[in-house]
Amino acid sequence: MRILVLSNIHDHDSVKSILTNGAAGYILKGNLTQDLIPTLQAVHQGTGAFSTEIVQQLATMTRPDNPYNLTEREIDVLKAMAQGFTFNDVAEQLHISVSTVKYHMGNI
């Protein structure tokens, strides 16, 4: 079973908790009309999808001094997701498996 989160809540702790617990997608209610169908398709295909705002929020929290102790690979994954790539795209781009991408997003 794949879980898609539809929420107005997008603070760092909530997003991190949701990703850590295996959500395959996370879209904000404000983006429902533009994101719902592509996100449902991506989640159904097993690639996962997140509102750009969610990914960008996580990316902006990664400061140069790396207060969240992200690995270099986690930062690479986060940057690719912030550009709007799907799990499959990121996996292909970084030459890693989709499950590894999901693992890194869960850690982030």
* 10 token code pair: 């997008």
pLDDT above 90: residue 56: no
5 DSSP 8-state letter:
E
What pLDDT score does 45 carry?
Answer: 83
3-state secondary structure of 50: strand
pTM: 0.54
* 37 token code pair: 């169908």
Instruction: Give 4's strand partners.
Output: 25
The domain spans of the chain are 4-107
E-strand ranges in 11-103 read 25-28, 49-50
Tell which wins on pLDDT, 78 or 52. 78
- % helix, strand, coil for the chain, step of 5: 60, 10, 30
Mean pLDDT across the chain: 83
Tell which wins on pLDDT, 29 or 20. 29
